[in-house]
Amino acid sequence: MSKRKHGAAKARLDGPPAIELERVTIAREGRTVVDGVSLAVEPGTIHLVIGPNGAGKSTLLSAVLGQTPFRGQIRTSFRGNGVVGYVPQTFVADRTLPITIAEFLALGRQRWPVCLGISRGARARIGEILERVGLAGMERRRIGELSGGELRRVLIGNAIDPAPELLLCDEPATGLDPDAVLELDETLVGLRADSGTTVLMVSHDRAQIRRIADRVTLLHVKVQRTGTADEVLGDAASERALS
């Protein structure tokens, strides 16, 4: 994988926000978990959301995906391929499920069911995906045999092919070793630079936040602060949230 310089993007895209939240409120079991959140994610930027456990970060991403009911408004603006990629925080794989990495990645990448075989075109794309996430040659490994970090790499590879216009990631570095986290950061920076991908991501990793974030939002039910990584991480509340 070629090395890229991490850091904030300079050439952001013009136009309306890629994601705009206006007074978004979410309640679960009678408890408000997200309260009146207004937030704009500019197109072609990497916007990280931080905060303590239970702050509403994953719930907010779920609402943007349309998976969680909310009050208020969430608007998305697409100008390219309209593809949305998603890396979940947790993905429980049935250890007895007889499906290989190649078959998993072939789902949605060919016209016929994978039980009838994988097309030549899909195999080529799968090879490229696995090379990109450091799993080259592992096409025949079963999903249930993978370590947590290996499964996380497969999920990341699945989310970034084709290059999405919008990528939502819920702590995608979970289970990855330090070298793999750096590779993930390179991939995100590369998507932003090469494809104009907008990234909205939850993270707890101070080093990662400083490496790749254009903007950072501290969330604890409400938006506590939004700014650059240096501005937000220098705040005492942010330090407590990441401790």
Q: Indicate whether 180 belongs to any domain.
A: yes
Same domain? For 101 and 86 the reply is no
Q: Which two tokens stand for residue 107?
A: 């789902």
Same domain? For 205 and 226 the reply is yes
- Whole-number pLDDT of residue 47: 98
Instruction: Give which of 228, 200, 162 is closest to 45, Cα–Cα.
Output: 200
Residue 188 sits in a domain of what CATH number?
A: 3.40.50.300
Q: How many domains in the chain?
A: 2
Q: Indicate whether 150 belongs to any domain.
A: no
Same domain? For 113 and 136 the reply is yes
**Start-to-end C-alpha separation, the chain:** 32
Q: Indicate whether 13 belongs to any domain.
A: no
Q: Indicate whether 141 belongs to any domain.
A: yes
Same domain? For 181 and 212 the reply is yes
Residues 6 or more apart whose Cβ sits within 8 Å of residue 89:
58, 170, 171, 174, 202
pTM: 0.90
Same domain? For 67 and 175 the reply is yes
Q: Indicate whether 8 belongs to any domain.
A: no
Residues 6 or more apart whose Cβ sits within 8 Å of residue 139:
100, 101, 102, 123, 126, 127, 130
Q: Indicate whether 2 belongs to any domain.
A: no
Q: Domain span at residue 26?
A: 19-93+165-242
Q: How many CA atoms lie within 13 A of 146 on its CB side?
A: 29
Tens-level pLDDT at each residue, the chain (243 residues): 444 545 544 445 677 999 999 999 999 999 999 999 999 999 999 999 999 989 999 999 999 999 999 999 999 999 989 999 999 998 877 778 789 999 999 998 888 888 889 999 999 999 999 999 999 999 999 998 999 899 999 999 999 999 999 999 999 999 899 999 999 999 999 999 999 999 999 998 999 999 999 999 999 999 999 999 999 998 777 777 776
Q: Which of 145, 177, 206 finishes a domain? A: 145
Same domain? For 26 and 80 the reply is yes
> What distance in Å separates the CA atoms of residue 94 and residue 146, rounded to the nearest whole number?
11
